[in-house]
Amino acid sequence: MTPLRRVLLTASSVWLALAGVASSLTGMRQQGSIESYPRLTPILTVKGETFPSLINVTIDDLSAGLESGLFTSVDLVKTYVARIMEVNDTLHAVIEINPDALAIAADLDAKRASGKNLGPLHGIPILIKNNIATKDKMDNTAGSWSLLGAKVPEDSMMAKKLRQAGAIILGKSNLSQWANYRSSNSSNGWSAHGGQVYGAYYPSMDPSGSSSGSGVSSALGLALAALGTETSGSIVSPSQNGNLVGIKPTVGLTSRYLVIPISEHQDTVGPMARTVKDAAYILQAIAGYDPKDNYTKAIPHCGKIPNYLAALDKDGLKGARIGIPYNILPTSNSTEMVAYYNAIEVMKAAGATIVAANFLNGSASTSSIVLQADFVSNLASYLAELTYNPNNVKSLADVQKFTQSFALEEYPNRDTATWDSSLALGYNNSDGRFWAGLQQNYYAGGEAGLLGAIERNQVDTIILPTSRAAGRAAIVGAPIVTVPLGFYPNGTTVVRTSRGLVTTAPNFPFGLSFLGGKFTEATLIKLAYAFEQKTMVRNKVQPFLVPTTELGDIVGF
């Protein structure tokens, strides 16, 4: 079989398989079963050479293969692009592929060949969420038609740092439009420009959001990993749905310069990867001071970033103090809570001390004013940075007007209620009334909440089911690391939203979150890594749909 035919055959059988999936979806849904999906056999061995499988490959595996010459970064880009195309029609996870990716890969291959290695991410393809700007041929739209064609003055600091570390920015991942800050009745993973993202673990799965495409891409190996952004839950929640490790860094650890904002007080950028170690590699590359985002001035030790890789210790739970906020846990014994209590036992057995770390106020009172007023200010500031603004949107009011009158934005089927209330506030974050809201958040997340519970009980972390973690950390800009914890068993009742997304079903993964004080990522990484190594939950559940193109289909042909 000629190489070309092999690739085409693989691709066409994939399309056929996908067509089969699509046509039998209705039947599948009724059965609530994932067992009868077609699985093709990937080509992993060619002429005696064994290639790592891209569904679970790690940065170390890829680096080893690149170093030994088993494959090149050009091969990697070709393979990942083929995988993206395999699931393009079904999952809509990637909104745009970087037209320069092959050239960048070739350049990095040449550098490697000449003995120049930029570090662990050298030549590794990574996707970034479509609200993180690049000054290249790609758009940065947050999924909105209003920003299609807009130009930025330079790369975002995140893009710059990835490139400096040698990573290949493979493309932009789809997202909940405006990072889920537009509508009261849209859906997770939907954007006007990118369409509806679906999750990888069940047909029509809600991918969660707003870093929806980043989660699906990392879960299915459409790139080694992806960057997401979080204001409240947008990294950890799609990471849990993708059976992933997500790191939501402390606000200020990673620069938000030229990232389409919601809130300067809560936004942060972080990695979504399949292992704690890979997430740590990526965090190491993107963390750091940026004069263009002065929140990064808060990084302790004069901006010196800890060695996150050195924090990885499989015995890291030994002697750790783990806080359990019993008074905010649900009383039910759901699948998720049973797994949570089992996790506590795993940690005890690994030598951790379990400590009650109750919150003063079980019902966190938080202020919506902070996001509303920040968005008015911060969006205007972002738009003011644009060097080309094709629809001349300068303010939230302009964007609202555009969205409500541009048919593809699906208004009013998907409303703009979030913006309507932001604008109805009548002021932005320079107003005194804003500070009252901010102080309320700081109290609810500080003394009365997460930071107070950590402080009073002298714990290294507080653990929560990921579905309950985000808001507690968001309001004080504190970090979270989520790792796979479990998944819903056969027989689970399938729950669907009014827009048809499945929110609970058999095979749905869920996560465990390690929450910490500000800038304690190294500690959280250590504990999460030790837990991951003891449990390896990720390997216990598989996506329903897996792209089949592997390096073996591409290399040498």
Site residues, ligand NAG (CB under 6 A): 33, 35, 53, 56, 88-89, 92, 94-97, 174, 185, 194-195, 294, 331-333, 361, 363, 365, 376-377, 380-381, 412-413, 415, 428, 430, 448, 489-490, 539
Shortest distance in whole angstroms from residue 396 CB to ligand NAG:
9
CB of 245 to ligand NAG, least distance (A): 13
Annotated catalytic residue: which of 234, 237, 422, 467?
234
CB of 431 to ligand NAG, least distance (A): 7
> CA 259 to CA 157: how far, in whole Å?
9
Measure the CA–CA gap between 135 and 148, rounded to whole angstroms: 14
Q: Which two tokens stand for residue 247?
A: 């790191």
Q: Which is nearer to ligand NAG, 245 or 320 (CB)?
A: 245
Among 131, 138, 195, 250, residue whose Cα is nearest residue 522: 250
Give least dist CB 101 to ligand NAG, A: 12
CB of 31 to ligand NAG, least distance (A): 9
The one catalytic residue among 210, 217, 377, 467: 210
Contact (Cβ atoms closer than 8 angstroms) between residue 244 and residue 218: yes
Distance, CA of 176 to CA of 214 (rounded, Å):
11
Q: In terms of CB distance, is 164 or 497 closer to ligand NAG?
A: 497
- Measured from the CB atom, the residue of 32 and 111 that comes closer to ligand NAG is 32
CB of 96 to ligand NAG, least distance (A): 6
Question: Measured from the CB of residue 415, what is the shortest distance to ligand NAG in angstroms?
Answer: 4
DSSP code, position 450? H
Nearer to ligand NAG, 69 or 330 (CB): 330
Of the residues 78, 129, 160, 526, only one is catalytic, namely: 129
Beta carbon nearer to ligand NAG, 59 or 167: 59
Q: Which of 156, 121, 131, 127 is nearest to 284 (CA)?
A: 121
> From CA 72, how far away is CA 206, in angstroms rounded?
35
Residue number with CB closer to ligand NAG (275 or 520): 275
Q: Among residues 168, 32, 152, 171, which one has the least CA distance to residue 88?
A: 171
Classify residue 39 by burial, with Cβ atoms within 10 Å: 0-12, 13-18, 19+.
Answer: exposed
Distance CA 441, CA 447 (A): 10
The pair of structure tokens assigned to 313 is 């210790």
Which stretches within 198-334 are classed as H helix? 212-220, 236-241, 276-286
Cβ nearer to ligand NAG, comparing 200 with 320: 200
Could you tell me if 155 and 128 are in contact, meaning their C-beta atoms sit under 8 angstroms apart? no
- Closer by beta carbon to ligand NAG, 84 or else 480: 84
**Shortest Å, Cβ 449 to ligand NAG:** 10
Round to whole Å and give the CA distance between 92 and 411. 21
212 in active site = no
User: CB neighbours of 448 closer than 8 A, spacing ≥ 6?
Assistant: 359, 360, 361, 364
Residue 197 CB, nearest approach to ligand NAG (Å): 8
Q: Whose CA is closest to 217, among 290, 127, 299, 298?
A: 127
Q: What is the 3-state secondary structure (H, E, C) of 328-388?
A: HCCCCCCHHHHHHHHHHHHHHHCCCEEEECCCCCCCCCCCCHHHHHHHHHHHHHHHHHCCE
Nearest CB to ligand NAG, comparing residues 213 and 306: 213
In DSSP notation, 153-176 reads: SS--HHHHHHHHTT-EEEEEE--S
Q: Which is nearer to ligand NAG, 185 or 458 (CB)?
A: 185
Select from 166, 215, 156 the least CA-distant residue to 59: 166
Known catalytic residue at 297: no
Closest CA to 548 of 168, 173, 5, 9: 9
3-state helix, strand, coil in the chain (%, to 5): 40, 15, 45
* Strand extents, DSSP E, 109-218: 125-129, 168-173, 190-191, 195-196
Angle at 403 between CA 399 and CA 406, to 5 degrees: 130
Give the CB-nearest residue to ligand NAG. Answer: 195
Q: How far is the CB of 116 from ligand NAG (least distance, A)?
A: 29
Q: Annotated catalytic, 186?
A: no
Q: Which residues are catalytic?
A: 129, 210, 234
